[in-house]
C-alpha cells in the first residue's frame, strides 16, 4: 500500500456560538492515497464544507492532526504553511462567486503562479496559462474574457485551471458540480477524472449528490452532524450500506427506473438536529427507526465491521443490523 | 422564449416537465398562470384550455385573480424567498382564504389554517411563528400548504424540492403525492431531476430551448428505445446508481442563446446525429405510437430508424 498523501486523525472543529458549542467537525479520521478520491456525503449543515476548509487550515482546527505527505501541517508556521498550500488546492462550489469579476481569465489563472513566484518571466507565465487552458478544455480565444461573459461550465473550468496552476497533489473539491446543469455537470466530471489520471491527483470530493459521488469516488465517507458515521469503498457502501442513516439516505434518492415506482422509500421522520451542544450518544438516535435504550450507552466510535468497511452504529458491531 | 408548446393533462394526473436551466420550464408555468411580466412577456398565439373555463388567455385580470390560487395554484422553487419574512406563517396561509373565500368567518378561517398545517405535518401551534423559525423543509411545507389551501384543481410545482436535502425531499414528495391522491389534484411538476420524474409522474415532457422536443407517458419515455437525441444525451449525463460507467457521455456544447436560436432544429449544433435537413428545416412533431411524440427529423415519416 502506498503511503497516503493525506491522513487526518481525530480532527475536530468547534465553533463558539451564543447558544453553546457548535460541533461542526467532530472526531473525523481518514486517509487518502495518491490518485484516489474520497467522497464526503451528507446533508446540508453536517460539516462537509468545514471539514474541507479545516484540512487546508483555512479554518484552524480545534484539535487533531493532519498529515500531508507525512508532515503534520497543524503545527506549521504561517510561512511554511504557504509553501504547503501550493500542493493543496480548493475548487469551489459556486463558479459565479469564486472568480473575481474584474479579472480576466488569464489574470485569474496567473495569480496563484505570481503569488507563489513560480515563473521567472512574463513569457513563461503566458505559456503556462495557455497550457492550463488547453488542459481544462478552454478555447485560447477566451484568454481575455471576463467571468460574466462565460457560462457556468466554462467558469468552473477556469476555477479548475486556477487550482491546477500551482501543480497541486491534493485538491479539495467543494460541491464543484452542484451549481451546474446535468449535461454540463457530466462534462466537468469527465474533465476532473481525466485530470486525476493524467496528474495522479488526490481528491477530497464534497457533495450531497450520491450519484455523482458514486461515479467519481474510490471511497466514501458519510457524515451526519459533524461525525463520520460510515466509511467504505464505493462499491461496498452502495451494495451493503450498514449504518441506518446511510440506508435511509440511499433509499431516499429517486432512481431513474420506472419499475421501482410506488416503492416506498425508508422515510426518515423529523429533521437534522442542531449541531449545537449535541447529545453524547448517537446523534442520529432521534430519527433512527432502530433506536433502542442501548444506543444511549455507547459513545461515538467508528469501528471496522468488515475489511475496509467502518460504521459507527453499535448494532452493526454486534450484527443486529445487517 | 417558448415556441409551440402543447400538452394536455387529465384529472388527477401528474405531468413532469423536464429540462435544463433556460429550457423554458418556468416560463411555461408562468404563461399558464398568466403571470408573465407585462412589458416583456407576450403570448403571441395559442390557447390554454382549463377545465370548463375555456381559454385562459381570453380571461380578464379579474377572472384570472379568482382562478389563481384558488383553482390553479403554484409552488415556487425557493421556499426561503417565497414567504414574507415579517408576517406570521399562519397569517400568510390565511390570506388565500381571505381572498378566495371571503364569506367565511374569522374563526372558520383560523380553523382551516390549523387543518391545512396539520395536513402537511406541522403542528398548528406553530402558526404564530415567523418563517425564519422554520427549517427549509418546513418552509417548503408551508408553501405547499398555502398552494393547497383552496383545494385547487391544478397545482403547478416549480422545482419544489430542489432546495432541499434528499431525505427531506423524499418526505415532501411523499406528502405531495398523498395529498394529490386525497384531493384529486392534477399536477405539473417542473424539475431537472429525471429520478423524481420517473418515480412521481404519469406523463413526461422534455423541454429544450423553449420547445417540447419529446413527450409521452412515463413508460414510453423511460422504457422505449426510440428517443430524441437530446433525451438520450440527458440520460447519458447522469451517473447511474445501478451501473458502473467509466465515463459519462455528456452532450457537447452549450444551450443556445434564446435571443439567437439556431435555424432549423434548435438542437442541431449539439446533436450527434445531425443531418443536412436539420440545419434548415424545423422538424415536425412525429408520433411514435401511443402518446409518444418526438420533434426530430430522425423519425420523419418513419423512414429512418433512430
Residue B196, C-alpha cell as written in the block? 423524481
Contacts of A268 in chain B (CB under 8 A): 167, 170-171
A188 to chain B: nearest residue by CA? B250
Q: Which of A151, A183, A263 to mutate to test the interface with B (most CBs of B within 10 A)?
A: A183
Please name which of A70, A3, A7 lies closest in space to residue A34, comparing C-alpha atoms.
Answer: A3
Per cent of chain B over pLDDT 70 is 98
Contacts of B198 in chain A (CB under 8 A): 254-258, 260-261
**For residues A195 and A188, is the Cβ–Cβ distance under 8 A?**
no
Helix and strand tally (H, E) in chain A?
10, 12
Question: Given a cut of 70, is residue B301 above it in pLDDT?
Answer: no
CA distance B55 to chain A (A): 34
Per cent of chain B over pLDDT 90 is 40
Whether A256 and B255 lie within 8 Å, measured CB to CB = no
Question: Which of A186, A265, A267 comes nearest B237 by C-beta?
Answer: A186
CA distance A266 to chain B (A): 9
pLDDT band, residue B256 (cuts 50/70/90): confident
This prediction has a pTM of 0.84
How much is the pLDDT for A2? 67
Cα(B138)–Cα(A92) distance, integer angstroms: 28
The interface predicted TM-score (ipTM) is 0.79
Whether residue A223 lies within 8 A of chain B, CB to CB, comes out as no
Whether A255 and B241 lie within 8 Å, measured CB to CB = yes
Whether B239 and A153 lie within 8 Å, measured CB to CB = no
Whether residue A257 lies within 8 A of chain B, CB to CB, comes out as yes
Long-range contacts of A190-197 (CB under 8 A, 24+ apart): A190/B247, A190/B248, A190/B250, A191/A136, A191/A137, A191/A157, A191/A160, A192/A160, A192/A216, A193/B247, A195/A135, A195/A136, A195/A160, A195/A164, A196/A35, A196/A37, A197/A35
Question: Given a cut of 70, is residue B263 above it in pLDDT?
Answer: yes
Report how many Cβ contacts below 8 Å link chain A to chain B.
Answer: 119
Among the CATH numbers 3.40.50.300, 3.40.1350.10, 3.30.365.10, 3.40.30.10, which is that of A6-87+168-317?
A: 3.40.50.300
Whether A252 and B166 lie within 8 Å, measured CB to CB = yes
Q: Residue B73 forms beta bridges with which residues?
A: B155
For residues A178-205, average pLDDT: 91
Question: Given a cut of 70, is residue B268 above it in pLDDT?
Answer: yes
Whether B241 and A214 lie within 8 Å, measured CB to CB = yes
Cα(A161)–Cα(A150) distance, integer angstroms: 15
Whether residue A2 lies within 8 A of chain B, CB to CB, comes out as no
For residues B171-181, average pLDDT: 86
- CA R_g for chain B: 21
A46 to chain B: nearest residue by CA? B165
Question: Which of B21, B198, B244 comes nearest A181 by C-beta?
Answer: B21
Domain boundaries, chain A: 6-87+168-317, 103-163
pLDDT band, residue A305 (cuts 50/70/90): very high
Please name which of B178, B14, B21, B152 lies closest in space to residue B74, comparing C-alpha atoms.
Answer: B152
Amino acid at each position: 500500500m502506498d503511503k497516503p498523501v493525506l491522513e487526518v486523525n481525530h480532527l475536530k472543529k468547534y465553533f463558539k456560538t451564543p447558544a453553546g458549542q457548535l460541533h461542526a467537525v467532530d472526531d473525523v479520521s481518514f486517509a487518502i492515497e495518491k490518485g484516489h478520491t474520497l467522497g464526503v456525503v451528507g446533508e446540508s449543515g453536517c460539516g462537509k464544507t468545514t471539514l474541507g476548509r479545516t484540512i487546508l487550515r483555512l479554518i484552524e482546527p480545534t484539535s487533531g492532526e493532519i498529515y500531508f505527505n507525512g508532515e503534520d501541517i497543524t503545527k506549521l508556521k504561517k510561512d511554511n504553511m504557504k509553501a504547503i498550500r501550493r500542493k493543496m488546492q480548493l475548487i469551489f462550489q459556486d463558479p459565479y462567486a469564486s472568480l473575481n469579476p474584474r479579472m480576466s481569465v488569464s489574470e485569474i489563472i496567473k495569480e496563484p503562479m505570481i503569488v507563489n513566484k513560480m515563473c521567472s518571466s512574463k513569457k513563461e507565465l503566458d505559456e503556462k496559462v495557455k497550457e492550463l487552458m488547453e488542459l481544462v478544455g478552454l478555447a485560447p480565444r477566451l484568454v481575455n474574457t471576463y467571468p460574466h461573459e462565460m457560462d457556468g461550465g466554462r467558469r468552473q473550468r477556469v476555477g479548475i485551471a486556477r487550482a491546477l496552476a500551482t501543480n497541486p497533489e491534493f485538491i479539495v473539491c467543494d460541491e464543484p458540480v452542484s451549481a451546474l446543469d446535468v449535461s454540463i455537470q457530466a462534462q466537468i466530471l469527465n474533465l476532473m477524472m481525466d485530470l486525476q489520471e493524467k496528474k495522479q491527483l488526490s481528491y477530497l470530493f464534497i457533495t450531497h449528490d450520491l450519484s455523482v459521488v458514486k461515479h467519481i469516488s474510490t471511497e466514501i465517507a458519510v457524515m451526519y452532524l459533524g461525525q463520520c458515521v460510515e466509511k467504505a469503498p464505493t462499491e461496498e457502501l452502495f451494495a451493503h450500506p450498514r449504518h441506518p442513516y446511510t440506508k435511509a439516505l440511499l433509499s431516499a434518492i429517486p432512481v431513474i427506473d420506472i419499475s421501482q415506482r410506488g416503492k416506498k422509500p425508508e422515510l426518515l421522520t423529523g429533521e437534522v438536529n442542531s449541531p449545537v451542544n449535541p447529545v453524547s450518544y448517537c446523534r442520529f438516535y432521534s430519527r433512527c427507526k432502530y433506536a433502542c435504550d442501548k444506543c444511549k450507552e455507547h459513545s461515538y466510535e467508528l469501528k471496522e465491521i468488515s475489511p475496509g468497511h467502518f460504521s459507527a452504529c453499535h448494532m452493526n458491531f454486534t450484527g443486529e443490523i445487517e | 422564449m417558448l415556441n409551440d408548446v402543447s400538452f394536455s393533462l387529465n384529472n388527477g394526473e401528474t405531468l413532469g416537465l423536464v429540462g435544463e436551466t433556460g429550457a423554458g420550464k418556468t416560463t411555461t408555468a408562468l404563461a399558464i398562470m398568466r403571470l408573465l411580466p407585462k412589458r416583456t412577456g407576450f403570448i403571441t398565439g395559442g390557447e390554454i384550455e382549463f377545465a370548463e373555463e375555456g381559454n385562459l388567455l381570453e380571461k380578464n385580470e379579474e377572472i384570472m385573480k379568482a382562478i389563481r390560487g384558488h383553482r390553479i395554484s403554484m409552488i415556487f422553487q425557493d421556499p426561503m424567498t417565497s414567504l414574507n419574512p415579517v408576517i406570521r406563517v399562519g397569517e400568510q396561509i390565511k390570506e388565500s382564504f381571505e381572498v378566495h373565500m371571503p364569506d367565511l368567518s374569522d374563526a372558520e378561517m383560523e380553523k382551516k389554517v390549523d387543518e391545512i398545517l396539520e395536513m402537511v405535518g406541522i403542528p398548528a401551534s406553530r402558526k404564530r411563528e415567523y418563517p425564519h423559525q422554520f427549517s427549509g423543509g418546513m418552509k417548503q411545507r408551508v408553501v405547499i400548504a398555502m398552494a393547497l389551501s383552496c383545494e385547487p384543481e391544478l397545482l403547478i410545482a416549480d422545482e419544489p424540492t430542489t432546495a432541499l436535502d434528499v431525505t427531506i425531499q423524499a418526505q415532501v414528495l411523499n406528502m405531495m403525492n398523498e395529498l394529490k391522491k386525497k384531493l384529486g389534484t392534477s399536477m405539473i411538476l417542473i424539475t431537472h431531476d429525471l429520478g423524481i420524474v420517473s418515480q412521481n409522474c404519469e406523463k413526461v415532457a422534455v423541454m429544450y430551448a423553449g420547445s417540447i422536443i419529446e413527450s409521452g407517458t412515463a413508460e414510453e419515455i423511460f422504457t422505449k428505445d426510440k428517443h430524441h437525441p437530446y433525451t438520450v444525451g440527458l440520460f447519458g449525463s447522469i451517473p447511474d446508481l445501478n451501473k458502473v460507467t467509466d465515463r459519462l457521455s455528456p452532450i457537447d456544447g452549450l444551450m443556445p442563446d434564446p435571443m439567437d436560436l439556431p435555424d432549423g432544429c434548435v438542437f442541431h449544433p449539439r446533436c450527434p446525429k445531425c443531418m443536412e435537413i436539420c440545419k434548415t428545416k424545423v422538424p415536425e412533431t412525429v408520433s411514435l405510437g401511443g402518446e409518444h411524440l418526438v420533434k426530430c427529423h430522425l423519425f420523419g415519416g418513419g423512414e429512418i430508424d433512430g
